[in-house]
Amino acid sequence: MGSKTFAEALNDGLREEMQKHEEVFVAGEEVGLSGGIYGVTKGLQEEFGVGRVKDMPISESAIVGLAVGAAAAGLRPVIEIMYQDFMAVCMDQIVNQAAKMTYMSGGKICLPLVIRTQCGIGKHQAAQHSQSLEAWFAHIPGLKVVMPSNPSDAKNLLRAAIHDNNPVIFIEHKMLYPQKGLVTEETVEIGKAAVVKEGSDVTIVSYSWMIEKAMKAAEKLEEKNIQCEIIDLRTIKPYDEEAVLSSVEKTGRLLIVHEAVKTGGFGSNVAADVAEKAFYSLRKPIRRITALDTPVPFSPVMEEFYTPNVESIISVVKELTV
């Protein structure tokens, strides 16, 4: 497939699935004529028409409500909520309708629904446009949560999400859209992690944009003869507990890195599972590096201070390996 940006890979995935399956359609704010604020849906309305690429009014509740009804009727909507922060506006439709309908119908209704959204810092968009809220959705039975870290996974996981018969929250970090990488055609299973770097001294578990920071930290730590094993969860609901436990049993040390705040963050779930099931493999206490428990600051300097960075990862890994 060659090298593609994260945004281009998502665009390719959407186009290919829409070409193959007439029941797949796209809807959201500015997804049609303008191609989305980060260009993910660029050109799709021109190719498939306004009937399958729908520009919606500024009403997140209406967008999700449309998708829930369409999915229940047999279509496969891929909708976009422009910023993850705005999903607070449509939580009833997501949590009480989309996530519950299959269960409450006794399996008679399935909801093959993908909700694309973007998260995270990096563009200095302050407290209402920069949050990482993936733990909200991981907490809800009936939802799957996907957070790719590279173009290839972005495309292949999006295709897997479109074919899944459950509602999938597909979260894209805004800083990944311009990132380039080799895109391969492969089947990527929702709930299967990837060991993106092998090592023997410490396990680093992360996902989304934080994988890039973990990799940069690991490269610098190799100069100190510290070998990090990095696990990219790729999906956090369900997440690959077996891959994490296997790595911790090998290294005896665990560092969890995510951009979401610490309190109630998904890293707490990973830490608890390891403490319950691999406690006697640990040589040092489990560590977490997360955002601070404050709203996201606007200031670029403070934004960098607020979240995990390469230096903070290096510092904690050194503490773990002393």
129 counts as catalytic: yes
Catalytic residue selected from 129, 139, 173, 258:
129
The arithmetic mean of pLDDT across residues 238-251, rounded, is 98
pLDDT at 103: 96
Record the tokens describing residue 228, joined without a space: 């990090």
Q: How far is Cα 107 from Cα 79, in angstroms, rounded to an integer?
A: 23
Q: Which amino acid is at 117?
A: T
> Which pLDDT tens digit goes with each residue over 18-34?
999 999 999 999 999 99
Record the tokens describing residue 199, joined without a space: 């090592």
pLDDT at 1: 62
What are φ and ψ of residue 46, in 5° steps?
Answer: -60, -40
- Residues whose CB falls within 8 Å of the CB of residue 79, separated by 6 or more in sequence, listed in order: 26, 27, 28, 63, 64, 66, 67, 113, 114, 115, 116
**Residue 74: band (very low, low, confident or very high) from pLDDT cuts 50, 70, 90:** very high
Record the tokens describing residue 36, joined without a space: 């989305």
The arithmetic mean of pLDDT across residues 83-105, rounded, is 97
> Which pLDDT tens digit goes with each residue over 126-143?
999 999 999 999 999 999
b/e code 276-294 from CB counts within 10 Å (16+ = b): eebeebbeeebbbbbbeee
Asked which of 119-123, 168-172, 199-203, 277-281 is least confident by mean pLDDT, the reply is: 119-123
Record the tokens describing residue 319, joined without a space: 């503490």
Distance from the Cα of residue 191 to its chain's centroid: 12
Q: Write down how long the chain is.
A: 322
- In the three-class reduction of DSSP (H, G, I as helix; E, B as strand; rest coil), residue 17 is classed as helix
Percent of the chain whose pLDDT exceeds 90: 97
Q: Which amino acid is at 276?
A: E
Percent of the chain whose pLDDT exceeds 70: 100
The arithmetic mean of pLDDT across residues 200-208, rounded, is 98
pLDDT at 2: 83
Sketch out the chain's domains with CATH numbers: 3-182 (3.40.50.970), 194-321 (3.40.50.920)
Q: How far is Cα 54 from Cα 30, in angstroms, rounded to an integer?
A: 9
